[in-house]
Amino acid sequence: MTEFPLALLVGLAAGFVGAIPPGPLNVTIIRKTSAGAERDAFRVALGGALIDFLVCLLVGLGFSWILEKVLTSRWPRLVLALFLVAYGLKILIVDRRRDGDRPGVPVPQRKEGARFPFLTGLLQGAANPALVVNWTLFIGFLVSHRLLHAGLGAGAGFALGVGVGVFLWFLVLIELVERLKSHPAGEWIRKSTVLAGLLLVAFGLVFTWKSIGELG
């Protein structure tokens, strides 16, 4: 089990750094935190981190063929991409109309937490068409350079480290947005409903275009 601690640390670093680039999860977490829905932001973060953990676990243990049948299949990817488009449109139409009556005022924690923010994190994480490929290539690189050993202990340690690392980044992001609430930038973030919706729609359309392109 000596591989486990090292694999855990490598996965922790990989997960933290890999979650930094802008994506649907980052956009959703920033929006929910700035709107005063921190609990929802934590649940979205947990759902997104769980997806990375499961993908890395299956790839590391040699079960990537399962992912080939699910996350990398064209039709499931298309459905997940359209989910992103729909979620972005919901922000642009429903949320914008609801929040328009109180500009500049943080939206308090709402009962919409019952609408499964954890599931939102899972779906948005799984919607990334490059997720499986990226982790498969990265794990292959680590194994080929003997930075990660093949086996149950190392695979489980790396996957756990990735999940924790991704979640830690989201915690840092939530804390940064929290600290910005009293800053002029925080006011801008609270008013960026249109930008958040457009970004999610853009991500969804890009993922949809890639999925449709593979159907031909």
| CA–CA–CA angle 198, 199, 203 (5° rounding) | 115
Q: What is the pLDDT of residue 99?
A: 60
Distances in Å between the alpha carbon of 3 and those of 8, 61, 143? 8, 14, 12
Element of type H or E holding 8? helix 3-18
Is residue 170 within 8 A of residue 23, CB to CB? The reply is no
User: Are 165 and 172 contacting, i.e. CB atoms less than 8 angstroms apart?
Assistant: no
- Alpha helices by DSSP H, 70-191: 74-90, 96-99, 117-126, 131-144, 152-179, 184-190
- Determine the pLDDT at residue 68: 62
Q: What is the pLDDT of residue 213?
A: 67
pTM for this model (two decimals): 0.80
Q: What is the pLDDT of residue 67?
A: 62
CA distances 191 to 153, 172, 176, Å, are 46, 21, 17
Q: What does the alpha-carbon distance between residue 90 and residue 11 come to, in Å, rounded to a whole number? A: 35
Backbone φ and ψ for 130, nearest 5 degrees, come out as -95, 0
Residues 6+ positions from 13 with CB-CB distance below 8 Å? 161, 165
Please list the pLDDT of the chain residue by residue as tens digits (216 residues).
568 889 999 999 999 999 998 889 999 999 999 888 999 999 999 999 999 999 999 888 877 656 666 656 677 778 888 888 999 998 888 877 766 544 444 444 444 443 689 999 999 998 887 788 888 888 888 888 787 887 788 889 999 999 999 999 999 999 999 988 777 766 667 667 788 889 989 988 988 887 776 544
Structure confidence at residue 112 (pLDDT): 43
The sign of the CA dihedral 210, 81, 46, 42 is: positive
Q: How far is Cα 88 from Cα 139, in angstroms, rounded to an integer?
A: 32
Residue 110's pLDDT is what?
Answer: 47
